[in-house]
Amino acid sequence: MPSIISVRDLKKQYNPPDGPIAVCDVDLEIQEGEIYSLLGPNGAGKTTTISMLSGLLTPGGGSITIGGHDITTEAQQVKRLIGVVPQEIALYSRLSARQNLNFFGQLYGLSGKELKQAVEEVLAMIDLTDRANEKIETYSGGMKRRVNIAVGLLHKPRIVYMDEPTVGVDPQSRRRILDTVLELKKQLGMTVLYTTHYMEEAQELSDRVGIIDHGEIIAEGSTGQLIQTVGEEDQIQLRVGEQEIPAAIISQMEQVEGVTHIRQQDGDLVVRATRGRRALPALITIASHSDVQINSVTVKEPDLEDVFLHLTGRGLRE
């Protein structure tokens, strides 16, 4: 099955030849109906990549084919297929939500009943029908974000680009946005290219994740596949405070099935184990028999943050 988004050797350098390289030899193959996340820290090249895929920026090199159309020679055909949700609230604050949707709907080529119906549908989807006639400037940050998303969905595009759509929103609005993204795939079969620096979002939403850093895709695959690259060890943290743990006890713990490594760090015993939850009762028994007082226990399964840390030596938010 051919990819709906196909990117080869994509490059972008700002102010060449001395300016910073924002994107370097990026390859992407995204299938129709897939949610693909670009995960990376701020400044990794996510927005630049999406800007080139939207026709906003001219690529410095490489090729972009969307739905079989080349973005540089058939930009208008490509733009009919895509809906873009930028990171910024790209709305007219002195217009109401309905006026904003009507305006951008017309730019997407909608008119008459079709436009009216599309506007009502997206307003219902973001649950703002009741306040549709109020000016955007009176909305909360979360409501603005929802209208920002609605504009990109008006013309029922086959592909939606969402550039960090949850930045700066409250947890409730964030949850609503994530649910909307999942609905786009399930109910409308849309392809979603989603950028974020929140690994939980990428992990929850994505069929596949591309980890991007310094303009390069450094790893790609499903969440499970990526985690496998760092091994499937869980991390158990036993909070022991200032107690000195004798070497004999640590040695005894290392004998528990699945445990591969133990170290004492910042008041914690940090245990790495292949099946952390199974090893946990044995570790607690050893501690209680040795009069080691455990204040709390945390079991952390490996995630994309660990993958990023493993690949780059840095955290996603550093």
Partner 1 sequence: MRKLWAIIWKENYLRFTDRTGAIYMFATPILLSAIIGLAFSGLMGAKANDVPALNIPVGIVNLDEGSAQGNFGAIFVTALVPADSENPDPTNPLFTLFNARTFASPDEAMPLVQEGALAALLVIPADFTASLSSTPAAYMAAAASGETPPVGHTGLVIHWNRQAQISAPIFRDTVQAIANGISTSTIAVNSTVSAIVRAIPSNPALGLQLASGGLNDTIAGIARAAAQPGANPILIQQVDVAGEQVGFDPLAYFSPGFAIFFMGFTVTVGSASILQEHRRWTLQRMVTTPTTNATILGGKMLGTYIGGLLQMIVLILAMILVGRILEGPEANIWGNDPVAIAILTLCAVAAATGVGIAIASFAKTEEQAGNLAAFILFTMGLVGGVFFPTLTMPEFLQFLPRLTFHFWGMNGYTELAAGGNVMSILDNAAALLVIAGIFFTIGLVQFNRRLDL
Binding site for partner 1 (CB under 8 A): 51, 54-58, 76, 79-80, 82, 84, 86, 88-92, 94-95, 99, 103-104, 106-109, 111, 151
Q: Give the containing element (helix H, strand E) for 165.
A: none
Nearer to partner 1, 62 or 221 (CB): 62
Comparing C-alpha atoms, which of 186, 131, 163, 159 is closest to residue 49?
Answer: 163
Task: Look at residue 210 and give its three-state secondary structure.
Answer: strand
Nearer to partner 1, 79 or 208 (CB): 79
Q: How far is the CB of 37 from partner 1 (least distance, A)?
A: 20
Q: How far is the CB of 146 from partner 1 (least distance, A)?
A: 16
195 touches 52 (CB < 8 A): no
In which region does residue 272 sit, left (phi positive, over 0), alpha (psi from -120 to 50) or beta (all else)?
A: beta
Nearer to partner 1, 7 or 84 (CB): 84
Q: How far is the CB of 253 from partner 1 (least distance, A)?
A: 54
Nearer to partner 1, 36 or 104 (CB): 104
> Can you count the helices (H) and strands (E) in the chain?
11, 14
Q: Give the containing element (helix H, strand E) for 285.
A: helix 276-289
- C-alpha Rg value of the chain to the nearest Å: 24
Q: What phi, psi does 314 have (nearest 5°)?
A: -130, 160
Nearer to partner 1, 147 or 279 (CB): 147
Q: Around Cβ 170, how many Cβ atoms within 10 Å?
A: 13
Nearer to partner 1, 141 or 315 (CB): 141
Give 104-164 as a DSSP string. Answer: HHHHTT--HHHHHHHHHHHHHHTT-GGGTTSBGGGS-HHHHHHHHHHHHHTT--SEEEEES
Q: How far is the CB of 39 from partner 1 (least distance, A)?
A: 22
Nearer to partner 1, 157 or 302 (CB): 157
